[in-house]
Structure 1
Amino acid sequence: MKIELHGLHKVRSKGKIYYYAWRGGPRLRGDPGTPEFIASYNEAVASRATPDKSRFKSLVTLYQASDDYKKLADSTKRNWGRWLDRIAEHFGELSIAQFSRAERIRPIIIKWRATFADKPRTADYAMQVLSRVLSYGVDPVGMLASNPCEGIKRVYSESRAEIIWTDADIAHIKMTCSPEIAHAIDLAAHTGLRLGDLLHLSWSRIEEDAIVITTGKSRHRREAIIPIYDELREVLECIPQRSPVVLTNSRKRPWRGFNASFRKAKELAWPEGKDLHFHDLRGTAATKFYTAGLSEREIAEVMGWEEESVSRIIRRYVGRQAAIKERILKLNKARR
């Protein structure tokens, strides 16, 4: 007899298929059709229908149903959904009251983080998701008095503050990469837009004198207003208009799987490896704007950053040598 289980969500990852009771729900045990699988599904549905409000997993469920979670980008929800499952599985049966006693729950949280010690960035990512759930429990839900993750230091400490793409780096990768990858690199280096915003940038957002786009990171509450200066205009003129969006793949369609294609292009350009990420191109653009003499307020408007954070972000993204050269020019000018 065939039993239809409603709402099942199937995810393929690294050649394996995983089943979840629903999108964002708990992962199911066993193989489809087996008694273990059906029992796992029934348990998940029962716990969803009558959640124990005193247990931590009820807070995870509340967060997943919240507007805060729903407003996240789809890619973020996919990544966070897996971590929320892990968090609910590990901490779910603990009482919410235990999380209000920071001195007792922190060692338990740190011990859980230590299970990812061989992957520091993964450990920090796990803590980021857990901390967000706990913050939601503080405000607006009011189930917790404070977030016990606050004060726990990050594991991954590498700073990319001074890593930017130089003109030589860009020229080197463009010798071997596809024109479509080259267009994305050039546009990022001349606008400072994040990859997600670049891939969604449409030709309709390119006005006569500026690119005007709301940024996904701000949930489209802030605008990036990028003046079309000569170099940027040359970049735009080199990109063929093959779709409503500016950047397309080799099949003349909007990009899907850009990260994988970019990774292959970088491996082809630097077989021995190169410590450059696509988002480091934001530093290249910030350096360009800074050395051109734009004020921090102007850079904030151009790149869609919060103005009060510009000083900190400039320190992070602008190469030290560029900043030193700019200060030398200012000191020499003052003396003359």
Structure 2
Amino acid sequence: MVTVDLKGIHTVKAKGSVYYYAWRGGPRLEGEPGTDAFMKSYNEAIEQRRIPDAAKFRTLVTLYRASPDYQKLAASTKKNWSGWLDRISIHFGDMSIRLFDRPEKIRPVIRQWRGKYAATPRAADYGLQVLSRVLSYAVDPLSKIATNPCEGIKQIYTNDRSAIIWEEQDITAILAKCSTEVSWGVRLAALTGLRAGDLFRLAWTHVGENAIVISTGKSNHRREAVIPIYAELRELLAEIPKRQVTILTNSRKRPWSKDGFSSVFTKARDEAEEAKLIPAGLHFHDLRGTAATKFYLAGLSVRVIAEIMGWEEDTVDKIIRRYVSRTAATEAVIKQIDKAKARTKTVKLPVKPSV
């Protein structure tokens, strides 16, 4: 077999398999290097990148992939979106961009395409989200179309998780099923509110005298989470041995991988759920809700919670609405009112003597 050295091909190894992409962020290539199928898909990708017909929809996908908007996305997001961009380009690629400027004509086509993935509603809506982002880019800054036809199309998947958080009794129950190493991860997530990706790269060097400061992967490391080391968190950090650069380690005293931890945690969670020790439907990322609730009940402002969790202030409200239950919110309001009342002193006016 004759092999050809093709420059720019991006290789990704995942779960024992090797995947090839025409370039970093580019479309996935078919077949194995050196095969006819591989060369065909490579040549097609390069040809599409040259944008032979600027009037076709695939041009928008190519331009979006090369845009700063796409490049600044987190690596994990680009990895997830790349496959959807391929599907979108294949399905809509030969259509005229002008058609997407006629919402009444293109929306049924978009709904029909999304319907292909209706068996997995969350995936279907995820694909629609990626398509919407491409079309938003076509509106601004490209000015190729006037409006985004995806706007107004309702999601298939609906799941209100606003009241789904790990209560204290739930955490106690899951910890009984976990190893010591897993319990450290559960408790640290509940006390810090960090996403899993940030949690497992959290290093001892991120721990200062009074706060944990770490750039967030979700923001592509442009924002920082600044978590005050309050008493309960300080006690946990003192309990965890310093085995590695990272704080969390497995039973072999090696840093946890996100997938490795997830596998062990899920097994423990399922056992606790089957034994009816915890409610059904709890996920590891719901521990962020536990942290948000803790901060909210402590009376912290939106600005402070935003700094702690590494979010924009205007999205903190969404976090609270999603994670903090109505009961917890009511309790927080009562606590703040009672605290304010306690600070208010009753002033007695002097009685004017009668003449």
TM-score, with structure 2 as normaliser: 0.84
Within-5 A mapping of 1:138-287: 138-256=139-257, 257=259, 258-271=261-274, 274-287=280-293
2-structure distance, mates of 1:149, 1:262:
37
2-structure distance, mates of 1:26, 1:222:
29
Does residue 305 of structure 2 align to residue 304 of structure 1? Answer: no
Amino acid at match of 1:269: A
| Contact map agreement 2:51 2:59 (CA 8 A) in 1 | no
Greater shift, 99-108 or 140-149, is seen at 140-149
What whole-Å deviation, never above 9, does each CA across 1:109-156 have from its counterpart, x for those lacking one? 111011111111111110111111111222222322221111111111
Q: What's 2:81 paired with?
A: 80
| Contact map agreement 1:283 1:319 (CA 8 A) in 2 | no
Q: Note closer, same or farther for the CA distance 1:36–1:224 as it changes in structure 2 (3 Å cut).
A: closer
Alignment gaps of 5+ in structure 2: 343-355
Equivalenced residues, count: 336
Q: What's 1:130 paired with?
A: 131
Amino acid at match of 1:2: V
What whole-Å deviation, never above 9, does each CA across 1:232-289 have from its counterpart, x for those lacking one? 1111112221222222333333332233333233223334783111111111111112
Within-5 A mapping of 1:14-29: 19-29=20-30
Does residue 332 of structure 2 align to residue 326 of structure 1? Answer: yes
Q: Note closer, same or farther for the CA distance 1:130–1:218 as it changes in structure 2 (3 Å cut).
A: same
2-structure distance, mates of 1:332, 1:9:
59
Q: What's 1:3 paired with?
A: 3
Alignment RMSD? 2.7
Q: Note closer, same or farther for the CA distance 1:243–1:55 as it changes in structure 2 (3 Å cut).
A: same
2-structure distance, mates of 1:100, 1:46:
26
2-structure distance, mates of 1:15, 1:213:
31
What whole-Å deviation, never above 9, does each CA across 1:155-184 have from its counterpart, x for those lacking one? 111110000001121112212222222111
Q: Note closer, same or farther for the CA distance 1:33–1:157 as it changes in structure 2 (3 Å cut).
A: same
Amino acid at match of 2:244: S
Alignment gaps of 5+ in structure 1: none
Aligned-pair CA distance for 1:91: 0.8
Within-5 A mapping of 1:112-127: 112-127=113-128
| Contact map agreement 1:24 1:82 (CA 8 A) in 2 | no
Aligned-pair CA distance for 1:297: 2.7
1-structure distance, mates of 2:250, 2:70:
30
Aligned-pair CA distance for 1:9: 5.0
Amino acid at match of 1:270: E
Aligned-pair CA distance for 1:35: 3.8
Greater shift, 262-271 or 203-212, is seen at 262-271
Q: Note closer, same or farther for the CA distance 1:9–1:236 as it changes in structure 2 (3 Å cut).
A: same
In our comparison, the structure showing a higher alpha carbon Rg is: 2
Greater shift, 204-213 or 29-38, is seen at 29-38
Q: What's 1:294 paired with?
A: 300
Aligned-pair CA distance for 1:3: 3.3
Aligned-pair CA distance for 1:41: 3.1
2-structure distance, mates of 1:237, 1:251:
20
Q: Note closer, same or farther for the CA distance 1:241–1:38 as it changes in structure 2 (3 Å cut).
A: same
Q: What's 1:65 paired with?
A: 66
Amino acid at match of 2:316: V
Amino acid at match of 2:266: R
2-structure distance, mates of 1:261, 1:191:
21
| Contact map agreement 1:24 1:85 (CA 8 A) in 2 | no
Q: Note closer, same or farther for the CA distance 1:286–1:87 as it changes in structure 2 (3 Å cut).
A: same
Within-5 A mapping of 1:101-120: 101-120=102-121
Greater shift, 320-329 or 23-32, is seen at 23-32
